[in-house]
């Protein structure tokens, strides 16, 4: 079995995990939740194995770069990082309902990746300017940040749903974590994501100077990465200096993730050095 076949199997495993998490949330049964955790764990292990296998295959073909260079490979890594970070949160907080919001994002990410068979089945060489060790540092840092923002997005949705049900009358929302827990989790995930996004932008600037002779060229992806950075910087500043909590933080977190998605997907429709569509 090669990496693309393994990752296709992982797609279905993540889909099953998402269904089990949602079933556990809706029906409030322990068994589906337990099965969801182990299924998500197996999916994450298979996902990581697929990344390693694709890296090995790249070396066997004489290409020899980390599998982070195109839309398919980046989505596979994105899915893996979200799954791993979520599983750490689940183990820490002993609450599986968050999985009903996190795991569908994982599944949709890797399922979308599978829709590009020409890229999925062929490992492509990098252009000479991009052959650098900065590839790993830059892309991994950015996607660790994106993964944390994705989970913060799911938790922010949970907060807004829970906040509307102040009397606790909703059957579906009764087992959500307390509002204070969701608020703190959103803050923690945004802080974690902001740190790695900052590292990603810095390493990207160094890499750009090495490849193109300029630290910053106002490429569409660079511009939108900076916009995204400012949105999350505003969130953290408002929380620390203005005392923002709860609903306002949740809304800014959601806006920030929409900016992340445009930075990731939307700018590929525009001409630029960073476009995965090129």
* pLDDT surpassing 90 at residue 155: yes
Q: CA angle 184-167-257, nearest 5°? A: 35
Q: Of 131, 278, 141, 260, which Cα lies nearest the Cα of 199?
A: 141
Distance, in Å, from the CA atom of 94 to the CA atom of 157, rounded to the nearest integer, reads 19
Tell me which residue has tokens 């099965």. Answer: 35
Higher pLDDT, 255 or 63: 255
**C-alpha angle 104/55/145, rounded to 5°?**
45
Residue 277's pLDDT is 42
Average pLDDT over residues 230-244: 93
Residue 172 has pLDDT above 90, yes or no: no
Task: Indicate whether 128 pLDDT > 90.
Answer: no
User: Could you state, in order of their start, the residue ranges of all structural domains in the chain?
Assistant: 1-126, 129-278
Mean of pLDDT values over 129-143? 84
Residue 232 in contact with residue 193, Cβ under 8 Å?
yes
Distance from C-alpha of 54 to C-alpha of 47, rounded to nearest angstrom: 11
Contact call for residues 84 and 44 (beta carbons, < 8 A) = yes
Q: Of the given ranges (171-175, 204-208, 243-247), which has the lowest mean pLDDT?
A: 171-175
pLDDT of residue 267: 75
> What digits encode the pLDDT tens for the residues 22-39?
999 999 888 999 999 999
With beta carbons less than 8 A apart as the criterion, state whether 85 and 151 touch.
Answer: yes
171 band by pLDDT with thresholds 50, 70 and 90: confident
Confidence at 54, pLDDT banded by 50, 70, 90: very high
Which residue in this structure is represented by tokens 């890296």? 55
Structure tokens at 23: 């079933």
Those residues whose C-beta lies under 8 Å from the C-beta of residue 269, and which sit 6 or more positions away, are 277
Q: Give the pLDDT of residue 108.
A: 95
Q: Is the pTM of this model over 0.75?
A: yes
- Work out the end-to-end distance of the chain between its first and last CA atoms, rounded to an integer number of angstroms: 29
Helices (H), the chain: 3-27, 30-60, 71-93, 99-113, 117-120, 134-164, 179-212, 220-242, 247-264
Query: What angle, 0 to 180 degrees and rounded to 10, lies between the N-to-C axes of helices 247-264 and 179-212?
Result: 30
């Amino acid at each position: 079995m090669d990496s693309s076949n393994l990752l296709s199997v992982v797609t279905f495993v993540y889909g099953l995990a998402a269904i089990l998490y949602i079933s556990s949330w809706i029906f409030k049964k322990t068994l589906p939740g337990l099965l969801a955790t182990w299924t998500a764990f197996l999916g994450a292990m298979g996902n990581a194995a697929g990344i390693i296998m694709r890296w090995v295959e790249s070396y066997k073909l004489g290409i020899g770069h980390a599998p982070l260079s195109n839309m398919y490979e980046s989505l596979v890594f994105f899915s893996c990082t979200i799954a791993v970070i979520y599983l750490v949160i689940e183990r820490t907080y002993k609450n599986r309902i968050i999985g009903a919001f996190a795991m569908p994002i994982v599944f949709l990410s890797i399922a979308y990746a599978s829709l590009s068979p020409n890229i999925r089945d062929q490992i492509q060489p990098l252009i000479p300017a991009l052959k650098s060790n900065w590839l790993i540092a830059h892309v991994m840092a950015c996607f660790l940040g994106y993964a944390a923002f994705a989970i913060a997005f799911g938790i922010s949705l949970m907060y807004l749903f829970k906040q509307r049900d102040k009397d606790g009358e909703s059957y579906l929302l009764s087992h959500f974590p307390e509002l204070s827990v969701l608020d703190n989790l959103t803050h923690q995930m945004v802080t974690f994501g902001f740190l790695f996004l900052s590292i990603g932008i810095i390493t990207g600037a160094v890499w750009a100077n090495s490849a193109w002779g300029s630290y910053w060229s106002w490429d569409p992806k660079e511009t939108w990465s900076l916009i995204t950075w400012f949105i999350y910087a505003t969130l953290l500043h408002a929380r620390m200096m203005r005392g923002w909590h709860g609903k306002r933080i949740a809304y800014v977190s959601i806006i920030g993730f929409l900016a992340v998605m445009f930075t990731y997907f939307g700018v590929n429709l525009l001409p630029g050095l960073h476009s995965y569509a090129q």
